[in-house]
Structure 1
């Protein structure tokens, strides 16, 4: 009887300690996750030897580690440093050296290194590596072509790679026309939307997919406004002075909101951009 009472009393005393220490541990764990630094990437010439016959398993592990590293930065609202990006690039290089047929790291390279970091040359280099092995995969030349067209403003090179993609098995029927359109027009938001839909369909990481969906939503609005600006010019002989002229002119009921919080601007060539530059703003209170 007294023994049970004693044990109950001890448990009641320990319970507050348990919750107190638990909060401390989770708080310290969060601080560690916030301050985690980019690690060292083992050169693939060594990792291939160490992996023995488990190269595929090691490449899977390294990809998961890379996605987790990027995800931690996003969750805590931390901007990635150049050292962080070099770690991600080195990891993707090691993964594709271990298993050059593995599609996911090429998709990740295209989703992160171009849209998030502006490392277009590194993205194209990794995709070119994949072309040597995934010779019947239309997606890789499609990504390279888009990078040349949209980011590097090399429309001729972009069209060349998209034509290459269009000749590969199971490629979408719109690719030949898209390649011709890029070679002639260039710089259209519609093409970026089409491209992002392809990337999102191939992306399994939910955090990255969410960010790309937000980007696609913004580009769809930009594409709509560009079409209306073009229609305004065709009917009235000049560009609207400001985006609100589309409303007063009866071309649209209201101006769509930029999901990144910016204001739409009309350039001299009729293209529409946003003051947000399609970059997410950090919450001033939480830092996220």
Structure 2
């Protein structure tokens, strides 16, 4: 009994200062040192999945500690060691490219917090080579390209892939929408025409037909705008100019209930944003 008490006292004498030391360490140090992926691969042998999961768990615990330090109801002002977290997440997927949590968490911190959009997309592309059934990865990449990078052509590609993997018509619609945003209206029309022909569900087919109708109107406006510019030596000031001057007859109708207009650079847009219930301009 005396030996047990002595052992407990010795443990307390060691663990107490150690706990205080860890508590007082700078947050950057708490993420800790991790051997290189090359070293971890060689020592983990057939336990690479477990090694990868441990790295992700380390990042989640670290980030959870950061979040716990933020006062309730406030946002996290110090995102912590973003570079270190990114390094561990990249290491995790090199050890286990199928690790779902690594990609999902990286999507959050590398985009919204670190603003490393290209790095996030490269990681998602890497994951797509292995998790080729997971529609979330191309969906994330589509969002990053559309929202953060304004690369609508790439966004259309990824949303199209997400639609194929998920069977969700919404992502196919987003793909066609971003084709139009990138200035490829004719490509969007060809894409939607094919989707209308191959759709197996009547409701889905009607959705494609509606969007196709909208883009056909966009194409008609673009052709009238370009003819106006060629013949008059300058872009029209507004869509109404095209209608009044006879270049655009009849006036275009947005099947989503919005109003078509020309942006300052001449791009065709609509207040509906090609969706029902969208906030009007």
- Give the TM-score, by structure 2 length: 0.52
2:103 counterpart of 1:106? yes
Distance 1:60 1:150, change over 3 A: same
Query: Once the 2 structures are TM-superposed, how far is the Cα of residue 151 of structure 1 from its aligned partner?
Result: 0.4
Distance 1:100 1:35 in 2: 26
1:116 positional shift: 2.0
Aligned pair in 2 of structure 1 residues 25, 51: CA closer, same or farther (>3 Å)? closer
Contact 1:158/1:182 (8 A) holds in 2:
yes
Shift of 1:85: 1.1
Number of matched pairs:
167
Task: Give the root-mean-square deviation of aligned CA atoms.
Answer: 3.0
Partner of 2:92: 95
Map 1:163-182 to 2 at 5 A. Answer: 163-168=160-165, 170-182=166-178
1:80 maps onto 2:76 in alignment: no
From 27, 52, 56, give the equivalent of 2:45.
52
Contact 1:66 1:88 in 2 (8 A): yes
Residue 183 of structure 1 pairs with residue 182 of structure 2: no
User: Matches of 2:28 and 2:93 in 1, distance apart?
Assistant: 28
Uncovered stretches (5+) of structure 2, i.e. residues with no partner? 1-15, 71-76, 183-257, 260-278
Does 1:132 pair with 2:129? Answer: yes
Q: Greater CA radius of gyration, 1 or 2?
A: 2
Identify unmatched segments of 5+ residues in structure 1.
Answer: 1-22, 187-232, 235-265, 271-288
Partner deviation per Cα, 1:1-29 (whole Å, 9 max, x = no partner) = xxxxxxxxxxxxxxxxxxxxxx9998766
Partner Cα separation in structure 1 for residue 35 and residue 167 of structure 2? 36
Q: Runs (4+) of structure 1 moved beyond 6 Å?
A: 23-28
User: Bigger relative contact order, structure 1 or 2, given CA contacts below 8 A and separation 6+?
Assistant: 1
CA positional deviation for 1:59:
1.3
Q: Distance in 1 between matches of 2:78 and 2:142?
A: 28
Distance 1:147 1:105, change over 3 A: same
